[in-house]
Amino acid sequence: MVKNASHIKPVKVVSADKAYDAEENYRFVYRELHTQAAISQRDYGGKRIPRNNRRYRNKGRREFDEKEYHQRSKLETINFVMKRLFEAVIYAKK
């Protein structure tokens, strides 16, 4: 969806929750979209992630902007209101 949106209008920041915390997602944002990633990172506890699989995640952690990340709560509110208005069923994609 972000890739399609970027063809219409340049994307400034990709904001996502911890479910999207993956090296592939960071790589896509930085290498293909050439933009900033505001993706909250999971706490893996003591589990180690292989060194060759965290280059872009580390970059995302260094550049993470808490203020920018919390802008997504506005979008979550809009989604919630839309679901309430349309009884959680929206068939239109555009």
Nearest Cα to Cα of residue 67 among 28, 13, 25, 18:
13
pLDDT in the model for residue 93: 66
Helix (H) or strand (E) holding 62: helix 55-63
Judged against a pLDDT cut of 90, whether residue 8 lies above it is answered with yes
Give me the long-range contacts of 73-81 (CB less than 8 A, separation at least 24): 75/15
pTM: 0.72
Query: Mean pLDDT, the chain, as a whole number?
Result: 85
Judged against a pLDDT cut of 80, whether residue 51 lies above it is answered with no
Q: How many helices (H) and strands (E) does the chain have?
A: 5, 2
Among residues of the chain, what percentage have pLDDT more than 90? 26
